[in-house]
Structure 1
Amino acid sequence: VSWKKSIRGIEWSRGVVEQVTDQEIMDAKAFVDASGIGAEPASCCSIAGARKLVRAGIIDKKERVVAVLTGNLLKDPDVVVNYHLGRLKGIKSRYANKPIMMESSLKAVRKVLE
């Protein structure tokens, strides 16, 4: 990454740069996952940043924003599983969906869904 090009792009676009925590990234990732999109944690920085800027009033809730997700869920599946099991050190799994253990059969899936 070129620092000078980054600064030039931010200034040219009258943009904003924000820092996000691991907790904010994982919360954003859970939000993205719940919408049916599988993204790896680092890719969710853009969502975490946008959410933070909305809360700060820098981005109006009525504005449209594009956040680019570049990483696939399969890049870091252990993080996903450990988030939902509450096993990530220093991270509160606020939006966890606890995995359901079942046998691998259609009958078992139907039973869980009922």
Structure 2
Amino acid sequence: MSCGQFASVSDEEILEAQRELASHDGVFAEPASCAPLAFLLKLKRSGKLPQGLRIVLILTGNGLKDPDAPLKGLPDPIAVDGTIEALGGVLGL
């Protein structure tokens, strides 16, 4: 018996998990594959995740399946002319 748990996770929590997985582990998984990680992070934040567990999550979808999903909710990139001066201006140097 696994004594498993389940809960719902929001789209925002899934996209947060996708970004965290990509930035911390270098894995670009599709949002649907990140739902289990979103739940795990939610469980950890709630303090209900016991210490010392070995947890395996299987990610079956590549992030290139929906490459625009992780960009939702992020600000548009800043366009800069291709000069050192323009870059310095944007960076406040």
Q: What residue in structure 2 maps to residue 59 of structure 1?
A: 49
Cα contact 1:54–1:61 (8 A) shared by 2: no
Cα contact 1:84–1:99 (8 A) shared by 2: no
Q: What residue in structure 2 maps to residue 111 of structure 1?
A: none
Output the CA distance in 1 between the equivalents of 2:2 and 2:46. Answer: 19
* TM-score of the aligned structures, taking structure 1 as reference length: 0.59
Query: Structure 1 residues 54, 74: CA separation in 2 closer, same or farther (over 3 Å shift)?
Result: same
Q: 2:34 aligns with which of 22, 44, 50?
A: 44
Q: Which has the higher contact order (CA 8 A, sep 6+)?
A: 2
| Aligned-pair Cα RMSD in Å | 2.6
| Amino-acid identity (%) | 38
Unaligned runs of 5+ in 1: 1-11, 88-97, 104-114
1:76 maps onto 2:86 in alignment? no
Output the CA distance in 1 between the equivalents of 2:78 and 2:51. Answer: 33
Please give the per-residue CA displacement for 1:22-70, whole angstroms capped at 9, x wherever unaligned. 1110110100111210101111001000111112222124322112211
Unaligned runs of 5+ in 2: 83-93
Cα contact 1:85–1:99 (8 A) shared by 2: no
Output the CA distance in 1 between the equivalents of 2:28 and 2:81. Answer: 22
Please give the per-residue CA displacement for 1:54-105, whole angstroms capped at 9, x wherever unaligned. 122221243221122111011101213x337437xxxxxxxxxx588898xx
* TM-score of the aligned structures, taking structure 2 as reference length: 0.70
